[in-house]
Copies of this chain bind each other. A is one copy, B any other.
Amino acid sequence: MINKTVADAKVAVADVFSDSVLMLGGFGLSGIPENCIQALLEKDLSGLTCISNNAGVDDFGIGLMLKKKMVKKMISSYVGENAEFERQLLSGELEVELIPQGTLAERVRAGGAGIPAFFTPAGVGTEVADGKEIREFEGKLYLLERWLKADFAFVKAWKGDTAGNLIFKGTARNFNPMMAAAGRITIAEVEELVPAGELDPNAIHTPGIYVQRIFQGKDYEKRIEQRTVSKR
């Protein structure tokens, strides 16, 4: 089986270039590629377009890339609480494209699956529909939406093997599998890297064909945004 292992995050992101289009997995701060983001921060990059459901928080995740002014444009469904984000947006330094979450997921899925466009009901009658083709099917209105692809996709999995096969954990799966398929170069960081053949072929979430580079990450912080507990 093809071995896609690279030494670490630094090696994995070595050829990421300014003005490129990136996808970053995760929902909130859950399942984000922490190691790759750190390695990107250490490079001299600017003008990036980042496709990610959220934009991190002021001091973690994509928020750190915003602070370093590496990002020209965010494509997200919810940009949450992030003061620096807000400042850059209001000052015009940052461009933001907001997309319904399901449309975002499906556009990324379409990018990986070779579907250049599809119809979805989300956004009909709203400003999301502005300039888009609207068509009726079986009595209901739908918008035509286009695929999304990226120069580099960064995903974070729980376990992976040297062939690039990935298994995610809990709700940290979220956008990661679709982004893995939609990146021209997909870089996977995993908590545990095992030799090809050690993962159950029937339980793999992302087939290795979508992954060009894989490495075992370290020092995962896995920050929690809303720590909510019950007493019993």
- Could you tell me which A residues sit within 8 Å of B by CB distance? 106, 110, 113-121, 135, 137-138, 140, 142, 146, 167-170, 200, 202-203
Q: Is the CB of A114 within 8 A of B121?
A: yes
- B120/A119 in contact, CB under 8 A: no
Within 8 Å CB of A170, what residues of B?
202
The CA-CA distance from A138 to B203 in the complex, in Å, is 35
Interface of chain A: mostly helix, strand, loop or mixed: mixed
Q: In whole angstroms, what is the CA distance A113 to B105 when docked?
A: 12
User: Can you show 19 pairs from A to B with CB atoms below 8 A apart?
Assistant: A106-B115, A110-B118, A114-B120, A114-B121, A115-B119, A115-B120, A116-B119, A116-B138, A117-B119, A117-B135, A117-B137, A117-B142, A118-B118, A118-B119, A167-B202, A168-B202, A169-B202, A170-B202, A202-B203
Q: Which residue of B lies closest to A204 (CB)?
A: B203
- Looking at the assembled complex, report how far the CB atom of A150 sits from the nearest CB atom of chain B, in whole angstroms: 15
Contacts beyond the supplied A169-B202, A203-B203: 17 A-B pairs with Cβ under 8 Å: A106-B115, A110-B118, A115-B118, A115-B119, A116-B137, A116-B138, A116-B140, A116-B142, A117-B118, A117-B135, A117-B137, A117-B142, A118-B118, A118-B119, A168-B202, A200-B203, A202-B203
A135 neighbours in B (Cβ, 8 Å): 117
- Which chain B residues lie closer than 8 Å to A110 at the CB level? 118
- List of B residues within 8 angstroms of A168 by Cβ: 202
Contacts of A106 in B (CB 8 A): 113, 115
Chain B residue numbers with a CB within 8 Å of A114 are 120-121
Contacts of A116 in B (CB 8 A): 119, 137-138, 140, 142
Complex Cα gap A137–B137 (Å): 22
**Shortest Cβ distance from A112 into chain B, in angstroms?**
13
Nearest B-chain residue to A113, judged by Cβ? B106
Name the B residues within 8 Å of A140 (CB-CB): 116
Closest B residue to A142 by beta carbon equals B116
| A119, chain B: closest CB distance, angstroms | 5
Residue picked from A110, A119, A169, most chain B C-beta under 10 Å: A119
